[in-house]
Amino acid sequence: MPREVGRVKFSSGIGRQEMVGVLEALGAGREVHRVQVGGSLGGDQVSVTQSGAFDGWGSSSLPANVPAIGTLQMYLSVPDGLEPFDAAERIRRGLTSLLNAGVRGLGCVTLDLPGWSGANRSGELLDAIRQLLPNGMRVGDFTIISFTYDAMTRQGMRVRADLKGHTIRV
């Protein structure tokens, strides 16, 4: 098996133990360029209300024999009944916790909310995210960037945190 692995993809329904098991099987001597949790199509997003959506990524939570992770990409969903500011607060808390967790090798975290319209309230969610996670905000050594996929429809948004000097590999 090569020392570098391009991408490891987990569906949103996979449990933490199964995820850790796959990463342990790869071993500490490897580097995974991107770990993807969920996807943009077919409802494969992790709900921001799901218990533990952001938990378990820290160096104290992951076994020592997992590979370094360059980019962590999560596809998130927001239930229709959740107020935009509450959703944005959950995203802010989860992202901040994740960035401060000490994931070995982490240089970028991308949180995607594809096509979330929530009764045409995606603009409200984006505004709340930008209020709590403004562009340029620093969380540890990471810088926050948030933007919409489609400025015309405001359908889908991305919040990204980049480590200064980190090269993102696709």
Tens digits of per-residue pLDDT, 37-51? 988 766 788 888 876
Find how far residue 69's CA is from the centre of its chain: 12
The predicted model scores a pTM of 0.84
Nearest partner of 89 among 137, 145, 134, 128, judged by Cα: 128
Average pLDDT over residues 53-65: 74
| Phi and psi angles of residue 139, each rounded to the nearest 5 degrees, phi first | -125, 105
What pLDDT band is residue 32 in, cutting at 50, 70 and 90? Answer: very high
Nearest partner of 79 among 53, 59, 50, judged by Cα: 50
Task: Say if residues 72 and 125 touch (Cβ distance below 8 Å).
Answer: no
Location of structure tokens 């992202």 = 95
